[in-house]
C-alpha cells in the first residue's frame, strides 16, 4: 500500500484501476470513528486522472510505513524508543530521531514554536502558490490548536526533509473542524503568511 522507495500510497482509481500518490496529494485526512486499534483514516486525494477520490489508510501506513516501520511497531517520538527494529530503514529512522531530527514538523502559531508531528496530524492539504507549495492545516498534538502552514511538497512527502523556513498564517483557528474547513481555503489564498524558522 505504501512504497518507501517511491514515497507513494496506492489506492483504487475508478478511472485507471490504481492510483499511486504522494502524501502531498492528499486533501483531507480524517480518523474514522469506531475501529480504534488499529485506527483507520478516511482520506480524499487528488488522482493523476484529474479527479478526487476517497481512500482508506491504516494508522500504521499513514505514520509508520514512510519510516520503514512495519505493522504493529510503535515509535514514541518523545522518547525515540522502538522495539524491535525491523530493518535498516527503521533503524536509520530511529537513529535520526534519537539525534534530534524529526520526520515531520510544523509551526504551531498559538505556541510560536515548531513541533514534531506525524502525517495523521495533517487534516487538510491544498496546493498553494505556484503549486510547488502545499498549504497544510495541522492540529497540534501538544496544545490541540490548529495552525495553517505553507510548505514545500518535500516537507510533507519526504520523511526528515524539513523546510528551513515555512510560511505561517497569523490566525488562530477555531478548534471545530467544520469551521476550519470553511476558513482554510480563504486563509490559504489570503497570502498573509509570515516566515518562521523550523529548527526544533
- Of 44-52, 79-87, 153-161, 164-172, the window that binds Zn ion (rule: CB under 5 A) is 44-52
Candidate segments 8-16, 37-45, 59-67, 158-166, binder of Zn ion by CB under 5 A: 8-16
- Pick one of 13, 75, 137, 169: the residue that binds Zn ion (CB under 5 A): 13
**How does DSSP assign 36-101, residue by residue?**
ETTEEEEEEEE-TTS-EEEEEEEHIIIIIGGGT--TT--EETTTTEESS--SHHHHHHHHHHHTT-
Q: Do residues 116 and 77 lie in contact, with contact meaning Cβ atoms separated by under 8 Å?
A: yes
**Residue 143 near Zn ion by CB under 5 A:** yes
Query: Which one of 49, 56, 181, 195 is in contact with Zn ion (CB under 5 A)?
Result: 49
% helix, strand, coil for the chain, step of 5: 20, 40, 35
Choose which of 43, 47, 117, 151 interacts with Zn ion (CB under 5 A): 47
- Is 36 one of the binding residues for Zn ion (CB under 5 A)? no
Cell digits for 92? Answer: 536509520
By CB under 5 A, which span of 3-11, 24-32, 60-68, 108-116 interacts with Zn ion? 108-116
Candidate ranges 23-31, 106-114, 125-133, 157-165; the one touching Zn ion (CB under 5 A):
106-114
Instruction: Select the residue interacting with Zn ion from 97, 117, 134, 140 (CB under 5 A).
Output: 140
Q: Is 176 in the site for Zn ion (CB under 5 A)?
A: no
Which chain residues interact with Zn ion by CB under 5 A?
13, 15, 47, 49, 51, 108, 111, 140, 142-143
Amino acid at each position: 500500500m505504501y512504497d518507501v522507495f517511491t514515497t507513494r500510497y496506492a489506492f483504487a482509481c475508478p478511472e485507471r484501476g490504481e492510483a499511486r500518490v504522494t502524501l502531498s496529494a492528499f486533501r483531507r485526512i480524517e480518523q474514522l470513528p469506531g475501529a480504534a486499534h488499529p485506527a483507520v483514516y478516511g482520506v480524499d486525494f487528488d488522482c493523476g486522472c484529474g479527479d478526487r477520490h476517497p481512500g482508506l489508510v491504516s494508522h500504521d501506513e499513514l505514520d509508520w510505513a514512510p519510516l520503514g516501520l512495519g505493522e504493529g511497531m510503535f515509535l514514541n517520538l518523545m522518547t525515540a524508543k522502538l522495539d524491535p527494529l525491523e530493518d535498516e530503514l527503521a533503524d536509520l529512522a530511529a537513529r535520526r530521531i534519537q539525534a534530534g531530527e524529526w520526520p515531520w514538523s510544523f509551526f504551531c502559531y498559538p505556541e510560536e514554536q515548531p513541533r514534531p508531528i506525524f502525517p495523521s496530524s495533517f487534516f487538510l492539504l491544498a496546493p498553494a502558490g505556484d503549486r510547488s507549495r502545499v498549504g497544510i492545516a495541522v492540529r497540534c498534538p501538544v496544545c490541540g490548536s490548529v495552525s495553517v502552514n505553507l510548505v514545500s511538497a518535500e516537507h510533507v512527502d519526504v520523511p526528515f526533509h524539513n523546510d528551513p523556513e515555512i510560511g505561517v498564517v497569523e490566525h488562530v483557528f477555531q478548534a471545530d473542524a467544520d469551521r476550519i474547513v470553511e476558513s482554510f481555503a480563504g486563509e490559504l489564498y489570503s497570502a498573509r503568511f509570515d516566515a518562521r524558522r523550523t529548527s526544533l
